[in-house]
Amino acid sequence: MSDGTAPRPALALFDFDGTLTTSESFPAFLRMVVPKPRLRWGGLLVLPLVLGYRLRLLSGNTARAAILRIAARGLDAGLVAAAGAAYVREVVPSTLRPDMLARLRWHRDRGDAVVVVSGTFDICIAAWCEVEGVALLASMLEQRDGRLTGRYAGAQCAGDEKVRRIRAAYDLSAFARIHAYGDTVEDLSMLALADEAVYRGRPLPQRSCVASGNA
């Protein structure tokens, strides 16, 4: 017999770039908003950063922050926001993975709390998340007097910061089960919260419930 207590919902956490999509938003979006002359000379400046990241000499956070300073400093914040809306409209649909989109909608339609937790700029995917009816925790761009400063507003939503954001926004003990989906090492901390974790499309070994607070 039921004791009258409502069943606890599940929580589903999705990385965006490379998990829900086939491509990375960071370089694609910057190419949309950065003036062509800056793209040319800036490309030469960021090349060592890109190589350092690919050779694992620089962390993703360090490389992205340095590239952002070169690419975005001084850009008109209103024009960048408009480009973000265009990115959602014109680019995101063609990059989505059908299987992962179906999985997100499956969680949503059965009543799970669904959250996209992404290092992508919020202006690139906020409108998409709103249409899909899911929550968003993402990186943000700092602006001052209507111009981008070339810095992130707060920490990048990657690695351990994903976990900090999730725990700040949700009481994990309120969920019967936690599911998480990711595709890079920057998602592993988030995946460690989950009872059921999927990495690059494959299930990871069952995680300890203690890690998620579901003792």
Cβ atoms of residues 17 and 35 within 8 Å: no
How far apart (Å, rounded) are the C-alpha atoms in residues 12 and 114?
5
Q: From residue 8, how far is each of 14, 32, 37, 80, 111 by CA, in Å?
A: 20, 43, 54, 40, 10
pLDDT in tens, the chain (215 residues): 455 566 789 999 999 999 999 999 998 999 999 988 887 877 777 788 878 777 787 888 998 999 999 999 999 999 999 999 999 999 999 999 999 999 999 999 999 999 999 999 999 999 999 999 999 999 999 999 999 999 999 999 999 999 999 999 999 999 999 999 999 999 999 999 999 999 999 998 865 443 433 33
Residue 54 confidence (pLDDT): 79
Sign of CA dihedral 95, 97, 100, 104: positive
Structurally, the chain folds into a number of domains equal to: 1
- Separation CA 199–CA 209 (nearest Å): 18
| 4 assigned to some structural domain | no
Residue 48, phi then psi, degrees to nearest 5: -60, -35
Q: What is the CATH number of the domain that holds 83?
A: 3.40.50.1000
Can you tell me whether residue 155 is helix, strand or coil? coil
The confidence score (pLDDT) of residue 77 equals 96
Does residue 44 belong to any structural domain of this protein? yes
Q: What domain range is 164 assigned to?
A: 10-212
169 inside domain: yes
Whether residue 37 lies inside any domain: the answer is yes
